[in-house]
């Protein structure tokens, strides 16, 4: 079935370091792909998305490219800040019922 596998954490980085969180997916069709972020004590909010192959989603300095050939949607940021400390979820959605499938989440802590 459809699923998402993402890099396990936790990840701890120093401020201004480069961030990569790996995400790969399995899907029978052509899913839309998403990255959600969850700050402490809050619900999930959309960070970025891509709806077709080779699309690049970007927001707040984060980027991810929909790679059909490697079934991947890795999240990257060139220079992280303390305020980026959160849990990041990769997700995909398919058509019928618009069901969403989430990865297990990757906790990121950025230290000054």
Residues 6+ apart with CB under 8 A from 43: none
Measuring CA to CA, which residue among 54, 106, 49 is closest to residue 80? 106
Is residue 84 classed as helix, strand or coil in its secondary structure?
A: helix
Question: Binding pattern to another protein, positions 19-48, x when CB under 8 A?
Answer: -------------x-x-x-----xxxxx--
Minimum separation from the CB atom of position 79 to another protein (A): 26
The answer to whether 112 contacts another protein (rule: CB under 8 A) is no
How big is the site for another protein, counted in residues (CB under 8 A)?
23
**Contacts (CB under 8 A) with another protein, residues 71-110:** 89, 91, 93-95, 97-100, 102-105
For another protein, the closer CB: 12 or 99: 99
Minimum separation from the CB atom of position 7 to another protein (A): 13
With vertex at residue 73, the alpha carbon angle to CA 70 and CA 93, rounded to the nearest 5 degrees, is: 105
Q: How far is residue 74's CA from residue 105's CA, in Å, rounded to a whole number?
A: 13
* Run of H or E including 62: strand 62-65
Q: How far is residue 8's CA from residue 70's CA, in Å, rounded to a whole number?
A: 19
For another protein, the closer CB: 65 or 93: 93
Residues that bind another protein (CB under 8 A): 32, 34, 36, 42-46, 49, 51, 89, 91, 93-95, 97-100, 102-105
């Amino acid at each position: 079935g459809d699923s998402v596998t993402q890099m396990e954490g936790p990840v701890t980085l120093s401020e201004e370091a480069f961030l990569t969180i790996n995400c790969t997916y399995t899907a029978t069709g052509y899913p839309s792909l998403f990255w959600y972020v969850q700050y402490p004590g809050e619900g999930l909010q959309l960070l970025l998305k891509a709806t077709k192959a080779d699309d690049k989603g970007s927001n707040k300095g984060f980027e991810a490219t929909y790679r059909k050939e490697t079934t991947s949607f890795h999240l990257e940021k060139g220079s992280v800040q303390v305020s980026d400390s959160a849990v990041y979820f990769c997700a995909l959605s398919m058509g019928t019922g618009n069901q969403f499938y989430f990865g297990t989440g990757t906790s990121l802590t950025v230290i000054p």
